[in-house]
Amino acid sequence: MKERSFGAVVVDEKGRFLLVKHRYGGHWDFPKGHMEGDESPLEAALREVLEETGLTLELFGEHVLKSEYSPKAGVEKTVDFYIGRGIGTVEIQEAEIEEYGYFSFEEALGKITYEESKTVLRKAYMLIEERKKRRSES
């Protein structure tokens, strides 16, 4: 059985990463969830970020980072993550999110539960750093 989810690596104006602790499973990760109706992957990711955190997202380009893993026997899951800056004030969806926090890259690496998401964080960090470098050279 194959599953797909969509979410985002969200950063704030200080370059910190937003992580949420999911109520079911108790793991620290990025906001994410399943597609509804005829949503596009991007629409699903933006809706999930908004529902879980109350934030809208200003995308940093068209980058999509993929995480692939097996959450349980017989299930192969792929999660597509977009990258962007969160706009607004965090208001967590208490039914699904237990707590949240903004963390530096190093803190986030230590906080994230699963290795696949740590890999996504590393890739996102490199893309964000490249973006900063290009902007400073302009």
Query: What are the pLDDT digits (tens) for 46-56?
Result: 999 999 999 99
pLDDT at residue 79 in the model = 95
pLDDT at residue 2 in the model = 92
User: What does the alpha-carbon distance between residue 138 and residue 135 come to, in Å, rounded to a whole number?
Assistant: 5
User: What does the alpha-carbon distance between residue 49 and residue 31 come to, in Å, rounded to a whole number?
Assistant: 6
The answer on pLDDT for 138 being more than 80 is no
Tell me the chain's radius of gyration from C-alpha atoms: 14
Expressed as residue numbers, the domain containing 82 is 2-137
Q: Helix or strand or coil: residue 79?
A: strand
User: What does the alpha-carbon distance between residue 30 and residue 8 come to, in Å, rounded to a whole number?
Assistant: 6
Mean pLDDT of 29-46: 96
- Cβ contact 46:57 at 8 Å: yes
Query: What are the pLDDT digits (tens) for 61-108?
Result: 888 999 998 878 888 999 999 999 999 999 999 999 999 999 999 999
The CATH number of the domain where 79 resides is what?
Answer: 3.90.79.10
Domain count of the fold of the chain: 1
Q: What are phi and psi of 94, to 5 degrees?
A: -65, -25
User: What does the alpha-carbon distance between residue 30 and residue 14 come to, in Å, rounded to a whole number?
Assistant: 17
- 54 backbone φψ class: left, alpha, beta (φ>0; ψ -120 to 50): left
Q: Helix or strand or coil: residue 64?
A: coil
Mean pLDDT of 11-20: 96
